[in-house]
Structure 1
Amino acid sequence: MSLKEKIKDDIKQAMRDKNESRLGTLRMLSAAIQRREVDERIQLDDVQVIAVIEKLVKQGRESIEQYVKGGRQELADKESGEIAVFQAYLPQQLSEAEIDQLVAEAIAATGASSIKDMGKVMGVLKPKLQGRADMGQVGGKIKARLGAG
């Protein structure tokens, strides 16, 4: 079953369960997927659906930060709930040690020796880490390794 089919099934289940908050969140996710499909005139595969979910999670985290700064904890809590629903569709997150290992392997494989080689390293890592790690954090780890080397 594809990720899109799973989301559609979960929308139907949320309707049956009369779980309004989950239903609203899943509909938002489905709309984001459909919007990208219509804009690009393509059918998204699971990897592309994961990219859409990651984008929504990132936007949600940014929103939480703004809500907390603005003293709107109830909105931050609502956003946290939505992120939890989205994350259920992402692959299992990698541990720090696993990410460090993959970064080290990618640097060795590409022969990267300076920060100028960061693009090569990211090119190798992105398909392996898509949806399984925060790419911003990974970029920081690569910079730390290449900057020190």
Structure 2
Amino acid sequence: MSEEEMMEEFVDEDEEKLPFAKAEVVRLMKENLDDDKMIRERVKVEMNKFLGDVLKNVCKQLNDYPYTTIEYEMLKESTYPYTNIERINQEKERILLHLEAIKADCNALAMDVQKTLKLKDVVEEDSFVNFSATEEEEEEE
């Protein structure tokens, strides 16, 4: 990318309307990043846009409430996916492990069915007991 293209990109980004003051977003990022990290301009702009998108999504959920006053509990519920991402990921992992165990059980049961019930079109001799008594067996009794 030439220097002209890079300058045009920066001018375009500066002309964009960002949802928050860029300096405030950068200050917060620097507070939470290691001191040796440098932040590219595009990252600063994209973080600002991302935070704006999060705010829009939360407000959409808040608009779903039929009330005219937004209460703290509503905000907590609307921000839950963002504030509890670690817990949500742990629950997802737990569910996936449980599903894997269920799949293993199903596979084991399928193998048992195939071994014991011989699900084939061909009649095979197996070790099943013949439960229907023949005429000879009935006469012997």
TM-score, normalised via structure 1 length = 0.28
TM-score, normalised via structure 2 length = 0.29
Of structures 1 and 2, the larger Rg is shown by 2
Q: Which has the higher contact order (CA 8 A, sep 6+)?
A: 1
More helix by share: 1
